[in-house]
Amino acid sequence: MAQEDPTWKIFFDENPKPVHFHENVNLIQDFCHQASVKKNRVALVTSGGTTVPLEQNTVRFIDNFSAGTRGSASAEYFLEAGYQVIFLHRSKSLEPYFRHLVGKNIFDMIEVSPDNVTVDKKHQFELGKLAEKFQRHKCNLLMISFSTLSDYLWLLQATAQQMQILGPSALLYLAAAVSDFYIPASQMPCHKIQSSGGPLSLSLQLVPKMLAPLVTLWAPNAFIVSFKLETNETLLETKSKESLLKYHHHVVIGNLLDSRKVYVVLVDSNSRNVEEIRLSTSDLESDIEIESKIVGNLKTRHDQYYADHKTGAISN
Ligand code: 9Z3
């Protein structure tokens, strides 16, 4: 009897590639190739929420919660730690460096005279520092954007596959908030759903668990870190451990919706102990972000992983 394709394969058969897919894959391929020549580590940072369209000509969609704070802040700290970063993010969500300007009015920061435009004194230091960091790191940062769940999964698969050339130098940091439910393209109406049809009932399918092929097939040598988001504290540790046991990747970072900016737990496949990272009052007073501690912690774990696995690497 012929074996049926796994559900993740069926997902890719049924949902078309995003626009500009091949251009993006070429960019990712070049970026990974350059990194492998320079023997640089590469972190894939996913960030922001995925959308699930209700119509093919999309007027309405279901969204996943995430501002992209975790991902965009973490991308900066990975760059500071010497990684090249592929930032796979929801279009128009927070971006590394630019996130510091969100909510600020650029016109309040500049002084205009008849023949000159300058940054006003009050903002010169802050903007100068930010611009300097951005200039220093921009050649090590590749920005790739998505909107829908399907776009995200296509790009995740392709990026992970391109990163294989990096062997254990690759780190995947899956901070995007990814929908568990979707409407397959074949079941989506072409045009805007009309309210004249009465109240709307939706039936959503389960999204196949992509961590399974990611770990075993797409990025078998990479160091893989996923996030587990919960709202009930009593479930956080158990659910994080369950995920690690199920997918056999390297670290699960558990976080709660309410406290995600100050508290996370790290569950590692090499240790029975759960490690906590919690910002103290003095951390908060010094504007220390939890992502700086998360990335520092992961860098140490990745160093160890690299040392243990480098002999089997294709390059490096
Ligand atoms: C996270 O848990 C992220 O830390 C947040 C960051 C989305 C909470 P913000 O962007 O929020 O800083 O506002 N990401 C993973 C969420 C997720 O979809 N996890 C799934 C799950 O928990 C799959 S591993 O089951």
Would you say the CB of residue 49 lies under 6 angstroms from ligand 1? no
Residue 316: per-residue pLDDT: 43
pLDDT tens string 93-131:
999 999 999 999 999 999 999 999 999 999 999 999 999
pLDDT tens string 34-77:
999 999 999 999 999 999 999 999 999 999 989 999 999 999 99
- pLDDT at residue 271 greater than cutoff 50: yes
Question: pTM for the complete prediction?
Answer: 0.95
Would you say the CB of residue 227 lies under 6 angstroms from ligand 1? yes
Structure-model confidence comparison of residues 240 and 273, the more confident one: 240
What mean pLDDT do residues 86-99 have? 98
How many whole angstroms separate alpha carbon 219 and alpha carbon 163?
A: 7
**308 Cα to the center of ligand 1, angstroms:** 29
pLDDT confidence band for 1 (50 / 70 / 90):
low
Residue 286: per-residue pLDDT: 97
pLDDT tens string 229-249:
999 999 999 999 999 999 999
Minimum-distance ligand 1 atom for the alpha carbon of 73: 12
Mutation pick for ligand 1 pocket among 64, 65, 69, 70 (CB with most ligand atoms within 8 Å): 70
User: How much is the mean pLDDT over the chain?
Assistant: 95
Q: Is the ipTM of this complex over 0.90?
A: yes
Would you say the CB of residue 68 lies under 6 angstroms from ligand 1? yes
**94 Cα to the center of ligand 1, angstroms:** 14
pLDDT confidence band for 315 (50 / 70 / 90):
very low
Would you say the CB of residue 178 lies under 6 angstroms from ligand 1? yes
**274 Cα to the center of ligand 1, angstroms:** 19
Residue 175: per-residue pLDDT: 98
Minimum-distance ligand 1 atom for the alpha carbon of 70: 12
Residue 114: per-residue pLDDT: 92
Would you say the CB of residue 67 lies under 6 angstroms from ligand 1? yes
How many whole angstroms separate alpha carbon 77 and alpha carbon 96?
A: 9
Would you say the CB of residue 66 lies under 6 angstroms from ligand 1? yes
pLDDT tens string 170-205:
999 999 999 999 999 889 999 999 999 999 999 999
Residue 251: per-residue pLDDT: 97
